[in-house]
Structure 1
């Protein structure tokens, strides 16, 4: 599995501060899986990733629901699929080496999540912008 699938870049920035910050936080978290580590650190990071996913997906879905985003049901389904992949990884982690866990987590983030941001999340940006009141500085 080639993990050089995606790195944080400006193309992942939508101009929606809460979402941009949360997406950047995910990439920062993924970076903690690089290099050598011990089982406890890896498992703690998996728990942090699980918590991040709950918080981010919840915040994103709440925002889209408040703005009556028409494709919310499909978006939630994709989030549920990612959660299922993460739960499977958490279940399998006891039988995997640290390198295997790191590789799978990095693939989930740099592969699945990057594609989700660039192909699915990007689709709601115009809706959010057009349905969010703009404030004057």
Structure 2
């Protein structure tokens, strides 16, 4: 029994923007994945397990790519909060990896609970932690003629856009 119309658990809004286009685009992708997971919470545990089995690698790969991109940008702009931010990323990855391990071992898995965890973590992380490095970026960035921001001396031309 599938839902007839897709719905969004989370809708992107400019309040989530950290001002770096590639990061904002990746955050939108994470919210899309979260919404897709939400739309597969249909009350049929077997169907939900099959769906999760299909998308979990995509989710993990996407999160790793996103975290790596953020960490490179933070390193290039010499963001002092990088070690703490990386610890948050690592803790999230460990939690997801444990969920996947439990899932693969046949332990109880609830897609709605996992989706809620993902949504809450992503939104809190974007709203609080990611905003910190954007505030730092604004203090060191140069404004390009097209209105975008760049990080001087890093080869990161047009990395950011407000």
**Comparing both structures, which one devotes a greater share of its residues to strand?**
2
1:46 counterpart = 2:46: no
Q: Cα deviations across residues 65-92 of structure 1 (Å, max 9, x unaligned)?
A: 0000011100000100000001001101
Structure number with greater CO (CA < 8 Å, separation at least 6) is 1
Partner residue, 1:3? none
Structure 2: which 5+ runs fail to align? 1-8, 147-162
TM-score normalised by the chain length of structure 2: 0.72
Equivalent residue in structure 2 for 1:57, among 67, 70, 95: 67
Structure 1: which 5+ runs fail to align? 1-5
1:124 counterpart = 2:133: yes
Report how many residues are paired. 130
Equivalent residue in structure 1 for 2:84, among 74, 81, 100: 74
Partner residue, 1:7? 10
CA contact (8 A) 2:10 2:35 kept: no
Q: Cα deviations across residues 12-48 of structure 1 (Å, max 9, x unaligned)?
A: 1222211110000001111221234454432121111
Q: Which has the larger radius of gyration?
A: 2
**Comparing both structures, which one devotes a greater share of its residues to helix?**
1
The structural deviation recorded for 1:97 is 5.8
Distance 1:23 1:131 in 2: 23
